[in-house]
Amino acid sequence: MADLLFYTKRNCGLCDRLWAMISAVIEADGRDDLSLIVIDIDGDPGLIEQFRFRVPVVMHEDAVLLEGRPDEQEVRQALRAIE
């Protein structure tokens, strides 16, 4: 099982958009080996400092996988690169 850390904040339309795209790709590709873990940065001053202007950010194994406004093709490529 591969964990994807999804950094988000309240009332973030870009976050909602990326969450929906990732969820759709995971479902369409049958990727039950991927787990999305939501991390709300609003409650952590360190995370706010790190990600305030970058959310949504998706990380895998301490590396940024997706950030900002990726399109569906970028999401598919990023998720397919995870073994």
Beta carbons of 59 and 69 less than 8 angstroms apart = no
In the chain, the domains with their CATH numbers are 2-75 (3.40.30.10)
Q: Which pLDDT belongs to residue 83? A: 77
Q: What pTM did the predictor assign?
A: 0.92
Q: Is 27 exposed, middle or buried (0-12, 13-18, 19+ CB in 10 A)?
A: exposed
- Residue-by-residue pLDDT tens, the chain, 83 positions: 899 999 999 999 999 999 999 999 999 999 999 999 999 999 999 999 999 999 999 999 999 999 999 999 999 999 999 97
Q: What are the angstrom distances between the C-alpha of 30 and each of 25, 51, 56, 79?
A: 8, 30, 23, 11
